[in-house]
Amino acid sequence: MSTETLAAGLETALPTTLFRFATAGSVDDGKSTLVGRLLHDSKAILADTLDAVARTSADRGFGGEKGGIDLALLTDGLRAEREQGITIDVAYRYFATDRRSFILADCPGHVQYTKNTVTGASTADAVVVLIDARKGVLEQTRRHLSVLQLLRVAHVIVAVNKIDLVDFSEQVFRDIETDVQKVARELGLGSDGVADLLVVPVSALDGDNVVDRSERTPWYTGPALLEVLETLPAADELEAELESFRFPVQLVIRPQGALAPDAVAAGLDVEAYRDYRAYAGQITEGSVKVGDEVSVISPGHEPRTTTVIGIDFAGQSLDEAAAPQSVAIRLADEIDIARGDTIAAAGTVRESTADLYASLAWLSPKPLREGQKVLVKHGTRTVQALVRNVTGKLDLATFNVEPASTLELNDIGHAQLRLAAALPLENYLHHRRTGAFLVIDPIDGNTLAAGLVKDHPGDHEDERYVI
Amino acid sequence: MSTYTKEESTVEVAAAVDAPSVERLSSLDTLESEAIHIIREVVAEFEKPALLFSGGKDSVVMLHLATKAFWPGKVPFPVLHVDTGHNFPEVIDFRDRTVERLGLKLVVGSVQEFIDRGELAERADGTRNPLQTVPLLDAIQRNKFDAVFGGGRRDEDKARAKERILSLRDEFGQWDPRNQRPELWNLYNGRHTVGQHVRAFPISNWTELDIWRYIERENIELPSLYYAHEREVFARDGMWRAVGEVSQPLPNEDVITKLVRYRTVGDMSCTGAVESDARTVADVVVEVAASTLTERGATRADDRISEAAMEDRKKDGYF
């Protein structure tokens, strides 16, 4: 390709949008190979990396006499992983097509799978779950789908891998597809308008239906995996549509005398900016316009209503901004606002509460105990909290809630916490950002759990712990 | 045609999810917004952050993002440069001009001073990049920095691909890749105990091409050696090395003048140039998009030492 045609191609391709997805699978279902295949076939692997992988593959005798490249080696980053042939930690990969730039969170299946899947899925627009066509739906598949349902991942794609090893059999694929749909129905996955589910037959090793549609699966008329990833709407597109503007304040920008010298040199009116005061943050959902009425939510105050008089971004004045933009907002009234407060569309936030009913994905080797003191980080505020009781534990294989009084590593359960300050908590089902929180160990600062706000105490009297 | 399963029926994609009416942010705007969010979180939650600034393109982009995050206020933290003593003069000049222009405080940790005091030994190969760790940790401790911004990107290296955006380091500056905190949603946990500090990587999710497209879009100035220029070079280890005070050819290495540019800038003794006629940022964007080599593989001798070169250095407290 000549430089000229490439330049022309780049110009027409811009601007691309971003799409984040994660992969989850069980041991030996070929996940690393699938990721390697996506990177390789979308030409994201550069020659020196490929050379190194080819050399290692040959050294280890990959593919026997036939040879070949072990694509799994492309994703194993740490020395221990390469030596043991396993993946330990979530790894992030990057590739792009003409339509989109992709961020791939590659989540290992067998060690701390819940921790890794929860981590990868929390920021993902879609998750690809792998199933070995020879093995079908395993208990691990049910666990993965269960976690994805809990986290309300917008799109779940089940890749039925190694379809070449079952002679591209339509019957095998259809049986697995039926099983997957049955599990999805049991979970409610795809039934609540939040998530949708797609099943694709692939061979990661040979590339069938990964980047291009395969001629060896004529009975499958759907898109190849990459086509799906290129066209699904991203979570922030879905969230920007929400009417409820939410803006956790990160900090107050109030330079007083300390204006940026480069801005002053570029002609900033020093007098006009002497009393500048704006609230900096990232819009977590919805959108805001200059002139909008907003409520300011701070602990210990009734919500205060005021008007947006400016939306600033690094010297630009915007008329409107939407999730996930980082901006600075100016308000009409002088209100005492600090980090941790939330600015929201007027009248759309329910009363703040100190009673937190939540699902917790427990990510620490230290178990959860009733009566334990923890920290809760919600938006830009961290408060102390007391674990009042554990109200149940999810059996990920049967989807039943079992009685429990503790949660251990990789458990998902329900608990009731009492917060030291009332927070504007919202149900995670409808608010993926303002319904999420971290549970942090006050002793060593480690993250103990991913928390999902279940409901508002005003919602139910008797049915609080129903999933 | 693709179908999604919903309950017992199947519906077409278009029907399953209505096409959104809001125009999406571009990939670059999304990355910029994410980076600014992270920079503001660190400034809000830490006592004394600093930004690693080498004059290299990633740190220049980081500083640019910081100016946008706090506009119209000043960038509210100092910059820290770990000086190998093997610098390209134009990079030091650029560093000093930038610090002056933004009214920043510059803290320098000097590899040379550690060597002069006998606290570090020159390596047999003369390369000083791996020697930066000790002065870096010393500067962090002496200045009591509790958070240090770096321009590391996950696409640079296999070990970096597993790095968190906020990465906890112990009293020895060590990274423990097998025991990292899970990073969930956009909620960053920067809690640390006395002696520990956090490395923050707001541009973790950017690729080399994103960086260059952003430099082009934002019209960001870089040291001139990122663009094609004539330079006296000699070939070593399959790279073009510049002739300079610390980088002298051996008798069997011929010096020639070539049109070259640098894809990374670092220790002059181990950073190689690539042949290039990309004289402008637009040319570089095209060149990077078409490149078949990774930037570290192409230009960093220190990363070629072993498959796990970066992992080993990071465990010891490297950037």
Residue of A nearest to B26 (CA): A17
Q: What ipTM was predicted for this assembly?
A: 0.91
Tokens (6 digits) for A104: 């791939």
CB contact under 8 Å between A101 and B27, yes or no, is: yes
Q: Where in chain B is the domain with CATH 3.40.50.620?
A: 27-209
The answer to whether residues B149 and B54 touch, using CB atoms and an 8 Å cutoff, is no
**Rounded Cα–Cα distance for residues B223 and A450 (Å):** 43
Q: Which fold has domain A13-233?
A: Rossmann fold (3.40.50)
**pLDDT at residue B298, as a whole number:** 57
**pLDDT at residue B99, as a whole number:** 96
CB contact under 8 Å between A282 and B289, yes or no, is: no
**Rounded Cα–Cα distance for residues B281 and B216 (Å):** 6
Q: Which residues of B fall within a CB distance of 8 Å from A228?
A: 2
The answer to whether residues B197 and B169 touch, using CB atoms and an 8 Å cutoff, is yes
Strand partners, A342: A248, A297
Residues of chain A with pLDDT under 50: 1-13, 460-467
**Rounded Cα–Cα distance for residues A393 and A414 (Å):** 6
**pLDDT at residue A55, as a whole number:** 77
Residue of A nearest to B36 (CA): A326
**How far B117 CA sits from the closest chain A CA (Å)?**
34
The backbone torsions φ and ψ at residue A12, rounded to the nearest 5 degrees and listed phi first, read: -75, -25
DSSP state of B248: -
CB contact under 8 Å between B103 and A260, yes or no, is: yes
The answer to whether residues A308 and A331 touch, using CB atoms and an 8 Å cutoff, is yes
**pLDDT at residue A466, as a whole number:** 37
The DSSP result for A151-165, as a single string, is TT-SEEEEEEE-GGG
CB contact under 8 Å between A438 and B184, yes or no, is: yes
Which amino acid is present at A107? C
Tokens (6 digits) for A123: 């920021």
* Domain limits, chain A: 13-233, 240-345, 353-455
What pLDDT tens digit does each residue of chain B (319 aa) get? 333 333 333 333 333 334 444 578 899 999 999 999 999 999 999 999 999 999 999 999 999 999 999 999 999 999 999 998 888 889 999 999 999 999 999 999 988 888 888 888 888 777 787 888 888 999 999 999 999 999 999 988 777 888 899 999 888 878 887 778 899 999 999 999 888 899 999 999 999 899 999 999 999 999 999 999 999 999 887 788 888 777 788 888 899 999 999 988 877 777 888 899 999 999 999 888 877 666 655 555 555 445 556 666 666 666 6
Q: Which residues of A fall within a CB distance of 8 Å from B308?
A: 78-79
- In words, the CATH class of domain B27-209 is alpha beta
**pLDDT at residue B310, as a whole number:** 62
Q: pTM to 2 decimals?
A: 0.90
H or E element at residue A22: strand A17-24
pLDDT per residue over B221-244, tens digit each? 999 999 999 999 998 877 888 887
Tokens (6 digits) for A281: 């943050």
Mean pLDDT of chain A: 86
pLDDT per residue over B206-215, tens digit each? 998 999 999 9
**Which residues fall within 8 angstroms of residue B70, CB to CB, at 6 or more apart?**
A253, A255, A260, A280, B40, B43, B76
CATH 2.40.30.10 fits A240-345, yes or no: yes
The label of the residue with tokens 């984040």 reads A20
pLDDT per residue over B56-94, tens digit each? 999 999 999 999 999 999 999 999 999 988 888 899 999
A/B interface, count of CB pairs below 8 Å: 270
The answer to whether residues B242 and B268 touch, using CB atoms and an 8 Å cutoff, is yes
Strand partners, B50: B148
Among A234, A341, A349, A434, CA closest to B186 = A434
**pLDDT at residue A73, as a whole number:** 72
Among A82, A63, A84, A83, CA closest to A73 = A82
The answer to whether residues A404 and A390 touch, using CB atoms and an 8 Å cutoff, is yes
The answer to whether residues A104 and A74 touch, using CB atoms and an 8 Å cutoff, is no
3-state per-residue secondary structure call for A61-110:
CCCHHHCCCCHHHHCCCCHHHHHHCCCCCCEEEEEECCCEEEEEEECCCC
Q: Which fold has domain A353-455?
A: Elongation Factor Tu (Ef-tu); domain 3 (2.40.30)
For testing contact with chain B, the best of A151, A246, A262 (most B CBs within 10 A): A262
Among A332, A280, A326, A278, CA closest to A304 = A332
The three-state secondary structure class of A360 is strand
CB contact under 8 Å between A18 and B292, yes or no, is: no
Rounded to an integer, what is the distance from CA A37 to the centroid of its chain? 23
CB contact under 8 Å between A78 and B162, yes or no, is: yes
* E-assigned strand segments in chain B: 3-6, 9-12, 49-52, 79-83, 106-110, 147-149, 166-169, 197-200, 229-236, 239-242, 256-261, 274-275
Q: Which residues of B fall within a CB distance of 8 Å from A181?
A: 5, 8
Distances (CA, A) of B90 to A237, A377, B15, B59: 44, 45, 58, 16
**How far B191 CA sits from the closest chain A CA (Å)?**
5
CB contact under 8 Å between A92 and B72, yes or no, is: no
Alpha-carbon radius of gyration of chain B: 21
Q: Which residues of B fall within a CB distance of 8 Å from A197?
A: 4-6
Q: Which residues of B fall within a CB distance of 8 Å from A4?
A: none
**Rounded Cα–Cα distance for residues B53 and B101 (Å):** 14
**pLDDT at residue A1, as a whole number:** 35
